[in-house]
Amino acid sequence: MTALLLSVHVLAAIVLIGPIAVAASLFPRHARTEPDSGVPRLLHRICRGYALAGIAVPVFGLATGLQMGVLGDPWLLISIVLTVIAAALLALVILPAQAAMLTEPVAAAAKRLTMTTGVFNLLWAAVVVLMIVRPGSSTGA
């Protein structure tokens, strides 16, 4: 069961979080340089839709952690906190900023959004590293 849960968790992370990271990174440039092309609206729709589906990633992650008996391990607790911060950044800052830029693309807003998206992506990179390295793990990874 652990292998199945872990497989679904990793696949969900790749298939659902990856597109958000890419679309969110591309959005500011396209919103600023070609606001009427339809591309910014598509990128925003991708971010919004995948964000909802992306809830599966922490759900399967928690199920996997429970199955493995590691829910209290520091590396997992830090990963959970980073995931919550990334989700809040997406829901409370990135998606609203994208929506605002769809109506009025402003260069300064695009720069802030680019920086915020970079932080979002770095948070996910840190979570991936923690998931692979798992400090204190007996696997030697």
pLDDT tens for the chain, 141 residues long, are 989 999 999 999 999 999 999 999 999 999 999 999 999 999 999 999 999 999 999 999 999 999 999 999 999 999 999 999 999 999 999 999 999 999 998 889 999 999 999 999 999 999 999 988 886 565 544
135 DSSP assignment: T
| pLDDT attached to residue 138 | 56
Tokens of 78: 């830090």
34 DSSP assignment: -
| pLDDT attached to residue 139 | 56
Tokens of 10: 């990793």
| pLDDT attached to residue 133 | 87
CB atoms within 10 A of CB 46: 17
Task: Write the CA distances from 59 to 65, 90, 139, integer angstroms.
Answer: 10, 17, 24
Sign of CA pseudo-dihedral 120, 85, 16, 61 = positive
Distance from C-alpha of 73 to C-alpha of 68, rounded to nearest angstrom: 11
Q: What are phi and psi of 106, to 5 degrees?
A: -115, 135
**Cβ within 8 Å of residue 69, ≥6 positions away:** none
